[in-house]
Structures are given as C-alpha cells and as structure tokens.
Amino acid sequence: MAADRLRELKEKVAGAIPRGIQVRRIDFEGPLLVIYIGNPQELAESGDIIKRLAKDLRKRIIIRPDPKCLKPPEEVKKIIKQVVPEDAQITSFFFDDENGEVIIEAEKPGVVIGKQGATLREIMKAVGWSPKVMRTPPIRSKTVENIRQYMLSVKDERKEILRRIGEKIHRGAIYEEKWVRVTFLGGSREVGRSCYLLQTPESRILIDCGVNVSNIQHSPYLYIPEVQPLDSIDAVVITHAHLDHCGLVPVLYKYGYKGPIYLTPPTRDLMVLLQLDFIEVAAREGAATPYESSFIREALKHTIPLDYGVVTDISPDVRLTFYNAGHILGSAIAHFHIGEGLYNVAFTGDFKFERTRLFDRSETNFPRLEALIMEATYGGSNDFQPSRKEAEEKLIALINETIRRGGKVLIPTFAVGRSQEVMIVLEEAIRNKRLEEVTVYLDGMIYEATAIHTAYPEYLNVSLRDLIFHHGINPFISDNFVKVDSPSKRQEVIEDSSPSVILATSGMLNGGPVMEYFRRIAGEEKNTLIFVGYQAEGTLGRRIQKGWKEIPFPTNGKREVVTVNMDVETVDGFSGHSDRRQLMNYIRALSSRPEKIITIHGDENKCVDLASSIYKTYRIETRAPYNLETVRFI
C-alpha cells in the first residue's frame, strides 16, 4: 500500500512538469521530493510551476540537476573564476554532490551574485551545478569544516538513509482513530535531561534527549515501553545544542535507533562540538562516558537540517516547523501540526522573550496553536531579572574594580550563548573606554563555538549583522580576545601577575577548564568570580553561589580543600532564559491563544508556580507534570 502511494505521488509530479523540462528521476530523500532534471538551465522559467505543485501536494519539492550532466569540479572552478570578477575575492569552493550545489565562499558575495543574480545565472548555465554564495567567515571553524568533509565521505550511505526515511514519511496515514499525547521522559519539575515523546497512532516523535547536568549518570527514561524498541521512534527533533537537550542523542544510535534527527544547521554544528567536548571532558576526569565518538558520527549521518519557517513532513501525520527561540545560536521553538488540521502543539525549548545582543526575541506568531509546552527556569513569582542595561553596567563595574586592585576575574560560562553575549558586551565597553583595556582569555570550547557563530550570520539579529557587514566591526574577532588552547598556556594565564578576565567552561563548575582556574585563584581576595548564568541544584556552582567557603576538591587522586577567599558575585540579567515577566508576557503576545499550557524545565516549585499563575491570569488550563506522566491532548 505504501509503495502504491509513493508511485501515485511520483506520477502526479511527473504529469505536472512542463514539457520542456527533462525529468530523469523522482526520489524521496528524507522529507523532500527531489526531481532530477537533465536541463537545469531551463530551471529559472519553471520556478513558479514547482511552487504551485508543492502547494497542491503539500510537499517540499526541490529540483536538482541530474548528476550525469554536472561538469567535474576542477573544470567548474576554472569556469567560475572566468565568469566572476576578480574583486569578489573567492576564497574557497565546496562541492556538495548530495544537493548538486557548488558553494562559493567569497569576501564579497554580492559581486559573485551580480546585478539581480545575473552572474549566478551565468554560472549555472555554464556548469549545471546550482551555485550558492556565502561570505567567507572571519574565523575558520574546524567543526564546520570537519562536518562538511564527513558528510561528503558518507554521501552514498546517506542517500540510502534518506531514501528509507522518505518512504516512511510518505507512506500515508493508516489508522482511523485519532489521538495525540505526550509522555514526559525527563526535564519535568527539574532542569536537565530534557526528553519528551509526542505520540499519535501513526507516529512516535522524540523531542530533545539531554543529559542531567548535575549527574551525568541519570539519563531520561528511555527504557520504558513507550519508546522501546528505540527503532520504533520515527523522528528525533532537537530544539537547541545545549547538552541538557541533546547530550544523549548518540546513545539512541548506540541502542538501536536508525531514524532522522531534525535540527537547525547551527544546532547541528554546535551539537557535535559540545558532544565531543562532553565525552572528552568526562574521559579526562575518569568518569564513564555514555557513548563513544563513533556514535556522535552515526548521529550526524542521520541529521536533516531545517531553517526557521520551513514546514516539513516528518511522519505520515506530523508536520514540523522551527521558529526562532532567541536563546542561543540556532535555538528553535518546535511547532507540530498534527493530522490535516487536527491539532497543533509547540515545544518552546529554552527561549528568551527579549531581544538580546545576539538574537531577536522569540517568535510569537504561529498559524495555529492548541497546546504549548514551555520552559519555567525562571518561572517563580520572584524570578525577575534586572534589565540587560543594568546587568551590563554591574558586570563592567565589577571587572573595573577587580582590575584596579590587580586581580583576575573568572567567569564560568557555557561555551555557547552566554560566552558570546558577554564577549560582545566587553568588546563594546573596551572600544568605548568604559572598561579598562584588559586581555580576555577564552578557554574551553568558547573560541570554536564563537567561530561557528561567525559562520551563520543570518541567525544573528539585525543590529549585530549591520555592525559586522556595514560598519566592518566584528566584535568576535577583537584583539582583546585570546584563545587558551593548551594546559601550559592555562598555567601561564594563572601565573601571570597582571589583571585579566577569564571566560571558561563549564558554566556551572561541574568540570572543564574552569575548575583549574577556580582551584588556583579562589584563595586570593583580590580576585573575583562572577556567575552570569543559571546554576542548577546539585552543581558546585550552586554551592559556591550559596556561600560555601570550603570546597573539597579532588586533584590528581588526592583530596584537597579549596578555601574561597575571592569575591563571589552573581550578575543576573544575562540569561538566555525568559524571566518571570517575560514568560507571562509571552502567553499574552501569542498570535493564537492555546487551550492548554504545560510547564517543564524548572525546579519543582517554579514549574508549579508558573502553571498556577498562568491559569489565574489567563484562565487557560495548565499542568506541571512529573517525569513518566503522560498527558492526552485529544
């Protein structure tokens, strides 16, 4: 039956394509219907027909040149160099066979594109490949390059994987009965190990699969019958790259899952970076790692990146659309449209309903929304954060004071998110002479994570893009930032007697390079430790924040007690999470009012408090479920 339906779809597509276009093959590749054509030059004229067809069939249809009519890469490079004026400054080519695309990186992408795309069209006519132009990123990211190379090396296997996934998605719905439910597998009434199962008679979709930040041995409840065997899951959807949302994704592949992972392109790159760092740090500290790096690669092989706003079939009865969440680079609100207009549910993931230095505020405009599953990190009635301006001023004042007394400032941060936010603030303050000239050291994965930010400028907010592209100021590459990339360099930074600012991972002092800085500089009163992010219950960060002065510290197998004499400060307001006011305002701002709201991702009392306040204010049904509970929506 599935095969019939697939054939039917293909026939429909073939019949609707204008005569002049030579259709060679029609394939399902993951959620896409791909039409391979023999004369891609004719493509420009047929653009509208394809759009109409996609709308009629409610499928994502794309056209690619038949690989047989693509010229070999070496020849293509030569032709492109002849066509494109030299002042475009092309820095590299990348051939993506999977999509029949040649990616041209240039210092001046506008010159490659030409007036109204004239040069691009000329390239396409001459070489057959579809040209895609990108700005040469100012910092090379090893992660981005390694991922590109890896995807290229597994392209045949990936074709097979995508075909298999595509046939499952397009098989058509089978069951008559309709219901929708969500099972909470982790991250409910707690922060960490976020994991949720969205289920219909046709589909099982896992949203996020994270580690527990305070105890990496505690995973989501993946052994319960609802998700077993793991290969019965149709799709995994990742809201963003923080480890409490994606740290255990490779475990799924270790224990039998073979399906796709949907995420935004930056989330894919950051996820790989953070997972590799996670198992490296754990191994270095002698902890058991839940998976090996081969499973990170296995997961990567199954990723299907989606940009914001692209509606995509991910199973016979579920369509997924990502929207900006404003939390970190690539972070997404995952919106699911179930059945043909049957039900709509969105998972906010972590979200920020305020414009930050890096991102626009989270999206509120959804075509339809019946249920919202939202985070409650700062959901308590007193969880108000100071404004960003106040936060920035306090941070700068604390650093200035510490510099003046000759001390060092240690800021534990997540590699992704707060680090870049703080970097932008510090760079601007130094440029405007509000902050004394000081070296800012970046240790851990911060530098590489920053490089990934520069590879995706289209995911940053308008004013940051404007600063970078129109004013030529890229705060990320300021000379004030110095990368620490070896243990010996780290010792140098610690032993150097001049004042400095150190940004190091992890953000909650539960491992990573920040530990060594802390151990060595905590004893001196002139130094300052500044928390700029959330400290989860059970982490060392939370204990120090609460005022613990004697910290037992395992060093090289011996137990040492570190005495905290340094100044310990918390600067609220840099959080990538919405505070209480923003959480409440978000509900009001939604373009369509949900019938049901569920609060997760917060300490128990915060989830409960937010749920009851939303009910009192808006008269919307709310719940703060426990882990292992299931809520039926329809």
Contact 547, 395 (CB under 8 A): no
Q: Which residue, 234 or 350, is less far from Zn ion as judged by CB?
A: 350
Which of these, 11, 287, 407, 6, lies nearest to 172 by C-alpha position?
A: 6
- Rg value, the chain, Cα: 25
The Cα 278–Cα 408 span in angstroms is 27
350 binds Zn ion, rule: CB under 5 A: yes
Q: Tell me the closest approach of the beta carbon of residue 533 to Zn ion, in angstroms.
A: 10
Q: Which two tokens stand for residue 503?
A: 């940004």
Angle, helices 487-495/514-521, rounded to nearest 10 degrees: 30
Q: Which is nearer to Zn ion, 263 or 522 (CB)?
A: 263
- Within a 13 Å sphere around the CA of 467, how many CA atoms are in the beta-carbon half? 16
Cα(224)–Cα(219) distance, rounded to whole angstroms? 12
Q: How far is the CB of 284 from Zn ion (least distance, A)?
A: 24
Tokens of 492: 């140098």
Least Å from the CB of residue 400 to Zn ion:
30
Omega before 229 within 30 of 0, i.e. cis: yes
**By CB under 5 A, how many residues form the interface with Zn ion?**
3
Closer residue to Zn ion (CB): 350 or 579: 350
Closest approach of Cβ 595 to Zn ion, in Å?
A: 25
Q: Report the alpha-carbon distance of residue 429 to residue 432 in Å, rounded.
A: 5
Contact string (CB under 5 A) for Zn ion, positions 383-402, x = contact: --------------------
Q: Supply the minimum distance, in Å, between the C-beta of residue 233 and Zn ion.
A: 21
Query: Which residue, 183 or 377, has its beta carbon nearer to Zn ion?
Result: 377
Closest distance to Zn ion from the beta carbon of 351 (Å): 9
Phi, psi (5° rounding) for residue 539? -95, 160
Within 405-424, which residues bind Zn ion (CB under 5 A)?
none
Which of 242, 542 has the CB closer to Zn ion? 242
Smaller CB separation from Zn ion, 291 or 378: 378
Please identify, using beta-carbon distances, which residue of 6 and 333 lies nearer to Zn ion.
333
Q: Which residues contact 375 (CB under 8 A, 6 or more apart)?
A: 348, 349, 350, 351, 577, 578, 583, 599, 600, 601, 602
CB of 630 to Zn ion, least distance (A): 22
Residue 370 in 3-state DSSP? coil
Residue 165 β-bridge partners = none
Q: Which two tokens stand for residue 326?
A: 């404003």
Give the residue with the Cβ less far from Zn ion, 114 or 265. Answer: 265
Nearer to Zn ion, 330 or 511 (CB): 330
Residue 135 or residue 245: which is nearer to Zn ion going by CB?
A: 245
Q: How far is the CB of 246 from Zn ion (least distance, A)?
A: 10
Question: Site map for Zn ion, 484-513, x if CB under 5 A?
Answer: ------------------------------
Torsion of CA 251, 257, 263, 266, to 10 degrees: 40
Nearer to Zn ion by Cβ, of 191 and 568: the residue is: 191
Half-sphere exposure of 170 (CA within 13 A, CB side): 27
Query: Interface with Zn ion by CB under 5 A: which range of 104-112, 342-350, 440-448, 612-620?
Result: 342-350
d(CA 584, CA 379): 9
Q: What are phi and psi of 107, to 5 degrees?
A: -65, -35
* CA dist., res. 389 & res. 574, Å (int): 10
- What minimum distance in Å lies between the beta carbon of 331 and Zn ion? 7
Report the site for Zn ion in 273-332 (rule: CB under 5 A).
none
Q: Which is nearer to Zn ion, 375 or 427 (CB)?
A: 375
Q: How far is the CB of 287 from Zn ion (least distance, A)?
A: 21
Backbone angles phi, psi at 616, to 5 degrees: -65, -40
Shortest Cβ 270–Zn ion spacing (Å):
11
Dig out the tokens for 291 from the structure.
């998976």
Please report how close the Cβ of residue 600 comes to Zn ion at its closest, in angstroms: 10
Q: Which is nearer to Zn ion, 344 or 385 (CB)?
A: 385
Q: Which long-range contacts (CB under 8 A, 24 or more apart) does 288-291 make?
A: 288/217, 290/211, 290/216, 290/219, 290/248, 290/250, 290/251, 290/254, 291/248, 291/250, 291/251, 291/254
- According to DSSP, residue 539 is labeled S
Q: In angstroms, rounded to a whole number, what is the distance separating the alpha carbons of residues 116 and 135?
A: 18
The sheet carrying 528-531 orders its strands as 481-484, 440-443, 500-504, 408-412, 528-531, 567-570
Q: Of the two residues 242 and 580, which places its CB atom closer to Zn ion in the complex?
A: 242
Contact set for Zn ion, span 216-255 (CB under 5 A): 242, 244
CB of 261 to Zn ion, least distance (A): 17
The piece of 173-181, 347-355, 515-523, 558-566 that touches Zn ion (CB under 5 A) is 347-355
Please list the helix, strand and coil fractions of the chain in percent, rounded to the nearest 5, in that order: 40, 20, 40
Least separation, in Å, of the C-beta of 571 and Zn ion?
18
Positive or negative: CA dihedral 482, 145, 294, 251: positive
- 383 Cβ neighbours under 8 A, 6+ residues apart: 579, 580, 606
Token couple for 115: 């007036």
Q: Which is nearer to Zn ion, 234 or 244 (CB)?
A: 244
List phi, psi (to 5°) of 34. -110, 130
Shortest separation between residue 377's beta carbon and Zn ion, angstroms: 7
User: Would you tell me which residues interact with Zn ion (CB under 5 A)?
Assistant: 242, 244, 350
